[in-house]
Structure 1
């Protein structure tokens, strides 16, 4: 009997979805880690990928990528196949394009990213065993591989970033948001779509695909960006609350007749303080009433004009002093009092002449108190 041969296949990290309609592009999902495994018949995944790509017969392709990276040689082979493909390729990052997955992403004629997707580039990595000469040779080989990756990136970014800048970014293991990826030319546009993501320990899970951040030198950068994804909503809410507060304070300022004299405050404490200060101003002025027609007239004018007790104290003292003098007749006192009163009412003492009446101001204060209390 002849020897029985068993063929083993390796699960692929991609799958193809035929186009639903005549004018729709085919879809290829490249999810998970990029591998370069062999079958027993010496096939490799890059060859299988080429066969699946050829089966699409050059129709437009939407390549959906969500991968933490993997084998750089497999990624380079797939990149070259996609660049040679006759149909138009749109690459969409469905969550994460990191490491070797960025090479494949760069093959897209157009690259789009949801607003909370991530893009990460770094230097190629490998394991090495051997003596010093062998280790140096491995390092030299890694430099060559890095140069091929840089060449891919330069072709995609089209002058938005220099070769030296790219190498610096790769040295630093750079994690980019969708907006930053567009800025550097790795992507063309950002959609308002938001993909599902979460962090569980060291696992960054984006659109059901997990990425172990502990495998990277600076996984904490990805964590920081991930946490920032939720900040825009909080900032928008805070901005809205500030606008509502400023609108309320402007209404209070209008009611009190102070217009643009006061800068709008930033919280409801200012509302309460404004109400309290206005009540105290009225109370302090009314405490100065004596029953004297002249003095009371000055006080009432001050109440209407927005003056405080301190503002008119000197005037009232002058009236009282004039009345105590035997050399000044009542007509002179009356005339001086009228001048003082006119001075207050006219705005000559830096008071707004169009301030509301006492009754109007009191009604406004009551309304402000109700507003502040949420009534």
Structure 2
């Protein structure tokens, strides 16, 4: 199944969207999202089980020979867009996209056969330990080193790292990045969940003090490049969903908030402002859909389209949520209001997999531009 850049989804994809949206509407309302974010693991295990067992979201991007459904990137894209609407915290991005795709990209058939079926079922959660303390997300700059199969160092900003039962670790071996499978139950592995700007996104620091790993691939840089491309596209879908919902919440509020005897949404200046935000959401959607279409079709422009989606969708969500705060007024900065959660998701997500300016610099360099 495929999708065009303008969003011509198939009937099956539309039904998938409808099913996921209905399930999240029932089990991931704002109160449930807050409760899940404050829990020990940072997500609702019961909701994750429903998504995996009833819909099969974790199995979509995993090949059939490894226990998955073997769908295209488009189906996963649909799921992420719906997850973005609710900000529902799940292991979808950390386990299914980052870790599972890293295992696949390693080309290690034995690891795929052992690890991917559990991830596809949702009974196992994996985490990719990639970046160092500086959070660069470079493919040749990691926080862990390896001597043979012994790993030392620390990985930061690890999605789902505090509770994952499988760790895929990027480690430098004689200056070259490789990927290792590491059992987190070892005494030489310590993990801690860290405070984050976005309470709906669980991040951890994972430390290795002579932990034993199993080599997955000695060409970790190539695997991580592939993973980053897939992750940026998936993240853009989540950002589009969040931006659309944040705008919808703002429009609804403007219809009910009365000032000078009339709803504030009736003032021309605010109409124009929200029209501009609508344009941002729709152009971000176009960039995201173009990127997933390129990814699904293995287009030559897939990497550049993913970078464009990363930059544009990050900036669009930040703009929409920033204006949402202003248009709601003082109530939006209170803990009780959901606008601040969307704002925090926007700024937290923009830093994942590299800041937008890093992609702009890379794209300019590739195009032969210096400014």
TM over 0.5: no
Q: Which has the higher helix share?
A: 2
The alignment's TM-score, normalised by the length of structure 2, stands at 0.23
Work out which of the two has the higher radius of gyration on C-alpha atoms and give 1 or 2: 1
The alignment's TM-score, normalised by the length of structure 1, stands at 0.23
